[in-house]
Amino acid sequence: MAHPDQEVPVPGFRCKPTLDGEQVLLRPVAANDVAALLPMFQDAQTARLTGSHGADEPDEARLRAWYGTRGDQDDRLDLAVVEKATGQVVGEAVLNEWDADNESCSFRIAFVPGAQGRGLGTEATRLILGHGFETLGLHRISLEVYAFNPRARRVYEKAGFVPEGVLRDALLWEGDRVDATVMSILAPEWFTHRGRPARTGRSSWTEAPLSWESSQP
């Protein structure tokens, strides 16, 4: 434990790492990645699953300008997900909403249409969680997932996220009100199973209702 008068270093969000897995490589996202990511912003199903209201035709120039500044951010981490078999950028994984006082942040991940169902999302999630806990020194990483996205919830639970509670009617989508489940993973949990709770008998996954339509990651 640091001395009370000693300044504790903040997590190194300004350092943008490259994280290497078996199927995917996570690297700092750049303006030139927008062309590959554009189908993600144009996809109606992605907009629905992320609750993105008013998702009009994306402005490529504006997106390039925004992604071009990601490397300068010292309070968040935006990484492109590259499928190693093809070398193509297929999505993004992000740690954001950093709360330094409580050593916590939020997580989100999204993929272009057609990149789901191959385990890329699960591996990308484990890679960025490992960086968050083992390098950045975070204690808690959290997310929200809507009730009509059980596939994403299964990915999160496979990586160790634990359901905490339900935000009732959190989303109004085309006349329907949809619940969101708050999920998190804590550092002690991560260091117990390294993103593979099933191997330690600590899996919290329960089957989501099969009637819901599912999609990414």
CATH number of domain containing 25: 3.40.630.30
Cβ contacts of residue 85 below 8 Å, gap of 6+?
Answer: 23
User: Residue 173 forms beta bridges with which residues?
Assistant: 176
Select from 136, 190, 142 the least CA-distant residue to 15.
136
Strand ranges inside the chain, DSSP E: 19-20, 24-28, 77-83, 88-99, 104-111, 140-146, 162-173, 176-186
Confidence at 57, pLDDT banded by 50, 70, 90: confident
211 belongs to a structural domain? no
What predicted TM-score, i.e. pTM, was given to this entire model? 0.86
Report cis status (omega within 30 of 0) of the bond before 217.
yes
Q: Note every long-range contact of 50-59, with CB atoms under 8 Å and residues 24 or more positions apart, other chains counting.
A: 50/108, 50/110, 51/146, 51/171, 51/173, 51/178
Q: What count of Cα atoms within 13 Å lies in the side-chain half-sphere of residue 179?
A: 12
Task: Look at residue 27 in the predicted model and tell me its pLDDT.
Answer: 98
| pLDDT tens digits, 24-33 | 999 999 999 9
**Percentage of the residues of the chain whose pLDDT score is greater than 70:** 86
CA dihedral 96, 100, 104, 109 (to 10 degrees): 10
Instruction: Between 199 and 158, name the one with better pLDDT.
Output: 158
| Number of domains present in the structure of the chain | 1
Range of the domain at 94: 19-200
CB 27 within 8 A of CB 20: no
For the chain, the distance separating the N- and C-terminal CA atoms, rounded to the nearest angstrom, is 38
Task: Look at residue 58 in the predicted model and tell me its pLDDT.
Answer: 86
8 belongs to a structural domain? no
126 belongs to a structural domain? yes
**Percentage of the residues of the chain whose pLDDT score is greater than 90:** 81
Select from 17, 69, 4, 64 the least CA-distant residue to 36.
64
174 belongs to a structural domain? yes
Mean pLDDT of the chain: 88
206 belongs to a structural domain? no
Confidence at 6, pLDDT banded by 50, 70, 90: very low
111 belongs to a structural domain? yes
Rg (CA), the chain: 17
Q: Where are the alpha helices (DSSP H) in the chain?
A: 34-42, 44-49, 60-67, 120-134, 150-158, 187-193
Confidence at 5, pLDDT banded by 50, 70, 90: very low
Rounded distance, CA 198 to CA 210, Å? 21
Q: Which of 72-76, 106-110, 135-139, 206-210 has the lowest mean pLDDT?
A: 206-210
Task: Look at residue 199 in the predicted model and tell me its pLDDT.
Answer: 83
Task: Look at residue 55 in the predicted model and tell me its pLDDT.
Answer: 61
| pLDDT tens digits, 187-208 | 999 999 999 998 877 554 443 3
The two structure tokens encoding residue 171? 């989303």
90 belongs to a structural domain? yes
Select from 116, 111, 174, 177 the least CA-distant residue to 147.
177
Q: Is the pLDDT of residue 1 over 50?
A: no
77 belongs to a structural domain? yes
Confidence at 9, pLDDT banded by 50, 70, 90: very low
CB 55 within 8 A of CB 41: yes
| pLDDT tens digits, 32-42 | 999 999 999 99
Rounded distance, CA 89 to CA 81, Å? 6
Please give the average per-residue pLDDT across 70-77, as a whole number: 95
Q: Is the pLDDT of residue 214 over 90?
A: no
